[in-house]
Chain A
Amino acid sequence: MTILIKHGRLIDPKNDRDERVDILIRGDAIEKIDKNLSGAAADRVIDAEGLVVAPGLIDVHVHLREPGFEWKETIRTGTMAAAKGGFTSVVCMANTDPVNDNKSVTEYIMEKARAEGVVRVFPCGAVTKGLKGEDLSEMGEMRAAGAVAISDDGKSVRNAQLFLKAMEYARLFDLAVICHCEDDALGRGVVHEGLASLVSGLDPVPCLAEEIIVQRDIALAAYVGSPVHITHISTEGSIAIIRGEKRRYDKVTADTCPHYFTLTDEATLTYDTATKVNPPLRAASDVAALKEGLRDGTIDIIATDHAPHDATSKDVEFNLASSGISGLETALALCLGLVEEGILDLKGLIRKMTVNPARLLDLPFGEAAPGKPADLIVFSDRAEWTIDRGAFLSKGKNTPFHGRKVRGKNLLTIVGGRIVYSDPDFR
């Protein structure tokens, strides 16, 4: 099978490329990239005139809910949502049931992904058995089975000594360590501590709950000389800490999610449980700081923290509702908002969603060059549309962005030379 993508604007940050070219895909790899390949024979020709072609996006933080919570999401539906959103690789967190803390669960996920997955799936193993924060999980065996990172995502490893040992041990297998930073006692509330919580009476979570663990986890990593990745940062203080620490220690990376730079805690004033997420939506000053952190490179990566939930888990009192936002199908459009606002240029944005996550996880994806795997997307950076949760391919319809008008839409997703998603309106 050969595919020719013609006249697209290829943006490939890894190879510092931004130009109008034709791309020829043969089998599972990119064969040629040239100004004019109109002579080439191809089974399928795609006219990308006026559109952007980029390496497939890589999401270092999703929840696919399988095994154990198949009514919320499956590897099948989660990867379909990923493909629709422009993601060709996703890293799925370990808080499944059973927890992904041993190779048999990792193998199960890999097997399911091979059989039913639409995009590439890379499991993230648990740091500790059962996410209990007590005993180290068998990360070597999980690595051999396909895991690319470890994290107790959903909480922090409370025992600093244990986490320090985990960071040291993970280096044996070059596993990225992804830190969800939250002091469990300070983080007991459900919304950001600020003017909105003062008014709503909902239990508040101070920024401090995140920041003291960001500081701790970086200190632990620096102490043992391990790389450390801080995920879904949400506060101005975290940005300041990471910005400062990066000057002293070059193995710190960080990501944030579209909802943290798009919404503020004001959205929680309606008690709409779609706005309940952990860490919580923060104040306008935090949003401004995150944007500055994205602009100046303090934040390396944008992830979705795609957290699909069934209606029953959200259609309850705010305190009782599950935390999380179904994010794979809205991320690209919300991120393109950063370009429209002038925070990032297109290449800078794509860098944070392709080459930077690939580098964190040492994946051979996230670039578009001859001989490389043909993981590509074609998107419009201008198309206007209205987010409709009813049209989500994800089982999780939980989004605070339902009804929002956005610009920019993924139209075509190619994984390993196969078209896995094509927008119905795309010729």
Chain B
Amino acid sequence: MSWTHKDLLGVRELSREEILFLLDTADSFRDISRRDIKKVPTLRGKTVITLFYEPSTRTRVSFEIAAKRLSADAVNISTASSSVVKGESLVDTGRNLQSMRPDVIVIRHSMPGAPHMLSRILDCSIINAGDGAHEHPTQALLDLFTIREKKETVDGLKIAIIGDIAHSRVARSNIFALKKFDTEITCCAPLTMLPPGLASLGVKVTDRLDEAVADKDVIMMLRIQKERGGTSYIPSIREYASLYCLNEEHVGRARKDVIIMHPGPMNRGVEISDAVADGPYSVILDQVENGVAVRMAILYLLSGGES
């Protein structure tokens, strides 16, 4: 199989076979990060720019490390210290970066479709590192990688996704990705955080946490954006936590070998209790480790490599 996409804008556009191909490629890269000398020359001479219009620790560092371990030159732009603060438009920023001949631009933006815009006007590869409430494809891919690693297969699993589904790019990308496999997905949140028509994506929907976690193989928690507290979505973070904070009792209702996932950064005591976050079922730090391998794989494939 060869990789035919110029960009990675979303997982929705990928086939099941392409996803598995990418995960297999990531498998072959994972050991590099566990060696003493964590570097291979695969992408020597390639330039990767990370262009982040939103704050990020995990994703940005993960991309940078992935690029560097493949010997690509990584350049990081955060908008607080760039000409964006001088009012430069995204299109102009993109065209200017293009003139410096990068091979890949990794973009995170608060608005859906921003990576698509860059993709239309630039020749280099674009990776969507999160665009508003739309997609966060590498997060879904590393989540699938982690699920496959722990469960051997993605098919046949029952998965709960819990939190602010309406505003979550992680939820969307995971739903799109998991629906390409034989999975049963249950989304859970107060109605105010569930987008209307969600069930039409082929998922179950409930506002009861007890119901959502019952008999699940995988529980994915979403980060509650604290700035949404006290708005029209929930009256307070405290009340939300009293209803939707995942604790050990909930975990007890799931399958014995359940894994608990979270894309980070966690709000301990809000959507997830300390005991669960640090407990035996948590694979949250595995997700972070696998993120590097998955991002190495996508950088490699977009740069023309084949497994």
Contacts and interface: CB of A to CB of B under 8 A. Distances in A.
Nearest to B121: A315
Contacts of A271: 112-113, 116-117
B90 interface: yes
A316 B91 contact: yes
A403 to B, nearest CB: 15
Nearest to B91: A315
Interface string B93-124: 00000000000000001011110110000000
Interface in A303-326: 312, 315-320
Contacts of B198: 198
Given A271-B117, A316-B89, A317-B117, A201 B200 contact: no
A195 B198 CA distance: 8
Interface residues of B, number: 24
B299 interface: no
Nearest to B53: A317
A195 to B, nearest CB: 6
Interface in A206-221: 206
Given A316-B90, A316-B91, A317-B90, A198 B200 contact: yes
Contacts of A199: 12, 172, 201
A201 B112 CA distance: 6
B183 to A, nearest CB: 18
Contacts of A285: none
Contact of A202 (B90, B113, B196): B113
A193 interface: yes
B223 interface: no
A194 interface: yes
Interface residues on A, range: 20 to 34
Nearest to B92: A315
B131 interface: yes
A15 interface: no
Contacts of A270: 116
A195 B200 CA distance: 8
Interface string B170-200: 0010000000000000000000000111101
Nearest to A316: B89
Contact of A200 (B134, B196, B197, B201): B134
Contacts of A197: 195
A197 B201 CA distance: 12
7 contacts: A198-B198, A200-B113, A200-B134, A271-B117, A316-B90, A317-B111, A319-B112
Q: What are the nearest 10 A-B pairs in CB distance? A: A271-B113, A201-B134, A201-B133, A201-B112, A317-B111, A319-B111, A318-B113, A271-B116, A202-B112, A317-B114
